Amino acid sequence: MRYHGAWWLGKHRVVEAVPKLVNCLSDKREITTAGGYPLRRQAARSLGMIKDSRCIPELLKTLETDDIKLHEATLRALIEFKSEECTDSLINYLERDIPNKPLEALIEALAEHKLWRTSEKIQPYLDNESERIASSAAAFFYSRTGEINYLNKVISLLDHQNRFIRQSAAFDLARIGTIKAADPILNAKIPNNVKMFAIKAILNKSLSKTNQTDFIPEIELESIHCSLFKALDSLARDNFSGNLLIEQDNQIQETCLENNLTVSDLLSHAFKNLRSPSLASREAGIKQLIHGADHSQINLQDLYFSESDQDIKMGLIKAMAELKKPHYANAFIDAIGVEIGNHCQGNIRRVAACALGDIAWDEKVPSQSTHSIVQKLEWTLQSPEDWGLRYSACLALEGIGNSNSVKILSEAKAKETDPVLSRRLENALLESKNKLPIHQAENKTLL
């Protein structure tokens, strides 16, 4: 209970909890049979999420303990603090002889704090037998020098046969934040979640002009930004894969789209595919559901509300999103309200939000229905911690494009501090203005 309490306080950035979390860093009561201290480690992670500099001295003290997992959690927390208070401790930790030292996290922390004076000690890790450590070292040197060979070393790992190494390389490229890595990331066999995170990080640095390794003319840069936003839009709408394997599955079920199949058999095949760990199988399951809705009048919304399996619910949301029918709106609104407990639930919310903007709304839909939908999207744009869900709400409001959604987009743009979301809101406002009747558009202060 205390572990999950510490996690929740970090997730919700509860500044008032900092003193209590600091106390947890030295709490030895919660120990596993293997001798680990999960509460202490989670407290360190949560302090990194809250980013209150008061905790730095106590975090640094944990590097003196004999808990290597706590060291790693602390190092990743220190990445979030751009404070010179960390400098001496990080360098001392690098120089100490510690078995199983978390080198990947350490090198990342040294790079984030721009401690380039440690370069001589980092150099040997470029050839480390661990690809993840070697990738971190290459990212360190690219950030320091801008030399393309270091960047290429990291990019080459996006083709590694081990999917975890591919994902780790993508996170290294996200930290580097160079435009040059965008296309390799988008073409890599990695989950859409990871692609979204990495592309967003690259856009964030480019829009903030905080990347010193990209020297691109302004006109060309604007074209690149436009292309990357289109990629993010697509990833948000198709954010189905989560952490699934991308490779084809030889055991994929037959598509089973014959019209003579019973409804029961069709759903049995579809649900089996949707439970598969293969992305290809799940996509086949979605096609089966769409076929069933079109040719057998299967009520996908009723199935959604009667199902508890998250994989099947996600497949149903994806199928309804493809069909774009207004009467599915209740299912989309329900899915947006799902509390995030895992990657699948995070994805389902984003896909559902985008679907509300892609629905083929017509004059037969009662205005009060669209009003309640826009209200839900207003909450979605302003409240959740999940930036991807807020991004999806922006896409949906742009898709609806009525005067009410324009008003919400305009108010959100005035308050938004995130560079990527701010620019996407700006683009949405421009697109929405073009959709409004002339007399309405002239009365709106959009930007």
Over the stretch 161-184, which tens digit does the pLDDT of each residue have? Answer: 999 999 999 999 999 999 999 999
Check residue 199 and give its pLDDT.
97
Q: Between these two residues, 308 and 384, which has the higher pLDDT value?
A: 308
Q: Between these two residues, 422 and 258, which has the higher pLDDT value?
A: 422
With contact defined as beta carbons under 8 Å apart, do 152 and 128 qualify? no
What six digits make up the tokens of 411? 């108010």
Query: Which residue matches tokens 């602390």?
Result: 74
Instruction: Give yes or no for residue 197 having a pLDDT over 60.
Output: yes
Check residue 413 and give its pLDDT.
94
Phi, then psi, of 72 in degrees rounded to 5: -65, -45
Check residue 18 and give its pLDDT.
96
At 247, the pLDDT band (50, 70, 90 cuts) reads: low
Percent of the chain with pLDDT over 70: 88
Check residue 386 and give its pLDDT.
84
Over the stretch 339-394, which tens digit does the pLDDT of each residue have? Answer: 544 444 578 889 999 999 998 776 555 666 678 888 889 999 987 778 999 999 99
Instruction: Give yes or no for residue 156 having a pLDDT over 70.
Output: yes
Query: What domains can you pick out in the chain, each with its CATH number?
Result: 1-110 (1.25.10.10), 115-237 (no CATH), 299-441 (1.25.10.10)
At 439, the pLDDT band (50, 70, 90 cuts) reads: very low
Check residue 445 and give its pLDDT.
47
Q: What is the DSSP string of 14-43?
A: -GGGHHHHHHHTT--S---TTS--HHHHHH
Check residue 29 and give its pLDDT.
83
Check residue 216 and give its pLDDT.
83
Instruction: Give yes or no for residue 280 having a pLDDT over 50.
Output: yes
The 3-class secondary structure across 275-335, one letter per residue, is: CCCEHHHHHHHHHHHHHHHHHCCCCHHHHHHHCCCHHHHHHHHHHHHHHCCHHHHHHHHHH
At 62, the pLDDT band (50, 70, 90 cuts) reads: very high
Phi, then psi, of 278 in degrees rounded to 5: -95, 130
Over the stretch 38-58, which tens digit does the pLDDT of each residue have? Answer: 999 999 999 999 999 999 999
Check residue 235 and give its pLDDT.
92
Over the stretch 405-415, which tens digit does the pLDDT of each residue have? Answer: 999 999 999 99
Q: What is the pTM of this model?
A: 0.86
Check residue 317 and give its pLDDT.
95
Over the stretch 103-137, which tens digit does the pLDDT of each residue have? Answer: 999 999 999 999 999 999 999 999 999 999 999 99
With contact defined as beta carbons under 8 Å apart, do 39 and 24 qualify? yes
Distances (CA, A) of 405 to 25, 73, 316, 348, 356: 46, 42, 27, 22, 12
What six digits make up the tokens of 392? 């999806």
